[in-house]
């Protein structure tokens, strides 16, 4: 810490004091408040908790392009291939940059000749260097790169950090004061995770930087955008497979790896009971630690009082212990013929289900005429964007009304408000029915998967919860908000039919007479909420009609905005889900 004692020096003094007390027979005093203070410093240092940072890959690419263009020998970085970009970045990292503690921490690079966006991007790294120097070297966790599509996206962040004194040479050796976590979000990115990580980890410069920073790689997995992109079934399976690939790649290179699960509160964003979610992870991918995100309303109802917080943390820790020690029944050991090929057979079944589910989901969301009009008109997604909540806008580009532009939170939030809950289940019914094809033997196989495979059971259990929160009669009222009646009827019919098919398939496979029969506490909770929740939806539909009425003057329309936004908050509280 600048101008004072650092964390380790403070700890060393505390250790000396404790040892001195013990040596003089004052062990009771040494193990009292002093020991508590030592544990606090060991746990929280001078920083309280690690701060993760996150930025989208395109911001880094644009910043690098601008900086390379301003060099003495300009480089047209944007026009380079991936291989050429890696070569340029690797060479640039070998050049001399600022050292840690240099005056300004890279601020001299941030000049008025750069665009405002590039200045802002560089300032983040500059502040990181400053806080590490003034507060604690442990102040930061990982720098997360959203939408990581290529190895160069990680190397770009390394080079930008290099420009601000966080990465480079010191005393004839490398130093690296930043940990980078690539975030793989889309279905395509998850499918190519092996290729990207292999190219990154085999890069000699990156390998050296990783080694000096602890030989430790964190990889973040995006549940939200992969689900929005390809549907819940494809998302769940590609995430499952990606985890196995990531662990295999890092283990082969003797690199410690931690998976960071970017889950939301809803099933459509990877949500669900923490204990079951941890147990559902692939075998040998959890090694005594796991990291995942918790969103606002989840933090509130899980950790707002001591009793529920202790319960949730206990459930998470027991799940972590079981998964780490492999105290879980896995498909290879399940009933049937007991064959060692059982796990690969189940993987083949899931691959086929994922393919069919993704096809059904994309048929609706990407290839059904008028679907996006339905989404924007039959849900309050535009009005959600007016709420003063969240750290990011509802769209990446406000002018772009497309599936790729709308953010996953707004996507799930809108469907939940209108009681469709579509992202959490659409495509699953078609996939199960298509694969089963009326064959009794295949139904037996699916029932065995549900009984014996934590992954499959957790997926269908979370889907049951989402289906129970949906209400097709209320969704029909929202559908009537569409400007084109034909679009309304056509798209709503597709959604309703898939809903009914999904419910029936799950009940058949789980051998239940009703949804949530195996979770009576949750079923009772939803039953008690609905008499209060359903009227709120009817009120919201009325408010949407009035607020969107083009014949009203602007001052008349705004009268309905405040109650409309309040209805969104009220329904979110009743559903216990936003996005």
487-505 residue pLDDT tens: 999 999 999 999 999 999 9
* pLDDT (0 to 100) of residue 417: 95
Tokens of 257: 């790896």
Bridge-based pairing of strands 256-262 and 291-292 is parallel
List all residues 6 or more positions away from 210 whose beta carbon is below 8 Å from its beta carbon. Answer: 176, 201, 216, 217, 255
* pLDDT (0 to 100) of residue 327: 59
* DSSP output for 51-62: EEEEEEHHHHHH
Please state the three-class secondary structure of 503-532 as a single string. Answer: HHHHHHHHCCCCCCCCCHHHHHHHHHHHHH
The values of phi and psi at residue 327, to 5°, are: -90, 45
pLDDT at 42 over 90: yes
Please, are residues 255 and 210 in contact by the beta-carbon 8 Å criterion? yes
CA distance 188 to 195: 12
Q: Mean pLDDT score of the chain, rounded to an integer?
A: 88
CA distance 77 to 84: 9
Contacts 24+ apart (CB under 8 A), 248-255: 249/194, 249/197, 249/198, 249/201, 250/197, 250/201, 250/217, 253/201, 254/215, 255/201, 255/210, 255/215, 255/216, 255/217
pLDDT at 93 over 70: yes
Q: Between the CA of residue 7 and those of 101, 131, 136, 137, 422, what are the distances in Å?
A: 17, 14, 7, 9, 50
CA distance 30 to 20: 9
In the chain, % of residues over pLDDT 70: 89
Which of 181, 204, 577 has its CA nearest to residue 409? 577
Q: What is the mean pLDDT of residues 415-444?
A: 95
> Angle CA(10)–CA(15)–CA(17) in degrees, nearest 5?
95
* pLDDT (0 to 100) of residue 272: 61
CA distance 252 to 233: 29
Tokens of 86: 């890696």
Please, are residues 428 and 505 in contact by the beta-carbon 8 Å criterion? yes
| Choice between 456 and 275, residue whose per-residue pLDDT is larger | 456
Beta bridge partners of 260: 220, 291
Please, are residues 99 and 170 in contact by the beta-carbon 8 Å criterion? yes
Beta bridge partners of 316: none
pLDDT at 513 over 80: yes
pLDDT at 57 over 60: yes
pLDDT, tens only, 219-277? 999 887 888 989 999 999 999 999 999 999 999 999 999 999 887 655 444 456 777 88
Strands laid side by side in the 180-184 sheet: 51-56, 140-146, 180-184, 216-222, 256-262, 291-292
Which has the minimum average pLDDT: 6-10, 355-359, 398-402, 573-577?
A: 398-402
CA distance 12 to 9: 5
């Amino acid at each position: 810490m600048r101008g004072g004692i650092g964390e380790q020096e403070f700890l060393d003094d505390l250790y000396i004091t404790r040892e001195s007390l013990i040596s003089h027979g004052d062990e009771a005093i040494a193990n009292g408040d002093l020991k508590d203070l030592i544990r606090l410093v060991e746990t929280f240092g001078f920083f309280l908790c690690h701060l993760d940072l996150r930025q989208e890959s395109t911001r880094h690419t644009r910043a690098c392009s601008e900086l390379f263009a301003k060099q003495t020998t300009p480089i047209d970085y944007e026009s380079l291939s991936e291989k050429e970009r890696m070569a340029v970045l690797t060479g640039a990292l070998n050049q001399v940059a600022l050292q840690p503690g240099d005056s300004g921490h890279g601020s001299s690079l941030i000049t008025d000749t750069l665009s405002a966006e590039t200045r802002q991007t560089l300032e983040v790294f500059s502040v990181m260097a400053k806080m590490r120097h003034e507060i604690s070297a442990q102040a930061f966790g990982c720098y997360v790169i959203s939408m990581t599509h290529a190895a160069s996206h990680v190397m770009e962040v390394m080079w930008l950090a290099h420009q601000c004194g966080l990465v480079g040479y010191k005393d004839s050796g490398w130093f690296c004061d930043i940990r980078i976590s690539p975030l793989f979000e889309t279905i395509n990115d998850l499918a190519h995770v092996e290729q990207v990580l292999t190219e990154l980890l085999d890069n000699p410069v990156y390998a050296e930087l990783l080694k000096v920073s602890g030989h430790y790689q964190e990889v973040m997995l995006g549940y939200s955008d992969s689900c929005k992109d390809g549907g819940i079934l494809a998302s769940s399976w590609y995430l499952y497979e990606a985890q196995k690939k990531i662990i295999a790649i890092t283990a082969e290179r003797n690199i410690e790896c931690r998976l960071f699960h970017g889950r939301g509160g809803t099933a459509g964003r990877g949500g669900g009971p923490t204990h079951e979610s941890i147990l559902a992870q692939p075998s040998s991918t959890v090694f005594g630690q796991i990291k995942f995100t918790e969103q606002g309303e989840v933090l509130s109802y899980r950790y707002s009082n001591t009793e529920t917080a202790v319960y949730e943390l206990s459930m998470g820790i027991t799940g972590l212990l079981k998964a780490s020690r492999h105290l879980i029944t896995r498909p290879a050991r399940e009933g049937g013929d007991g064959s060692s090929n059982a796990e690969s057979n189940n993987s083949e079944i899931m691959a086929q289900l994922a393919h069919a589910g993704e096809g059904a989901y994309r048929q609706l969301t990407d290839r059904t005429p008028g679907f996006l009009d339905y989404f924007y008109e039959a849900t309050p997604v535009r009005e959600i964007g007016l709420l003063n909540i969240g750290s990011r806008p509802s769209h990446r580009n406000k002018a772009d009304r497309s599936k790729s532009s709308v953010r996953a939170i707004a996507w799930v939030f809108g469907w939940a408000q209108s009681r469709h809950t579509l992202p959490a289940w659409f495509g699953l019914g078609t996939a199960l029915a298509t694969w089963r094809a009326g064959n009794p033997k295949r139904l037996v196989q699916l029932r065995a998967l549900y009984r014996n495979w934590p992954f499959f059971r957790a997926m269908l259990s979370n889907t049951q919860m989402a289906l129970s929160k949906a209400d097709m009669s209320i969704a029909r009222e929202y559908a009537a908000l569409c400007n084109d009646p034909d679009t309304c009827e056509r798209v709503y019919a597709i959604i309703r039919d898939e809903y009914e098919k999904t419910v029936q398939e799950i009940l058949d496979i789980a051998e239940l007479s009703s949804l949530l029969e195996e979770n009576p506490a949750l079923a009772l909770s939803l039953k008690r909420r609905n008499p209060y929740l359903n009227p709120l939806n009817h009120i919201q539909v009325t408010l949407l009609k009035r607020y969107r009425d083009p014949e009203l003057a602007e001052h008349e329309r705004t009268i309905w905005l405040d109650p409309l936004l309040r209805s969104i908050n009220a329904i979110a509280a009743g559903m216990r889900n936003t996005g």
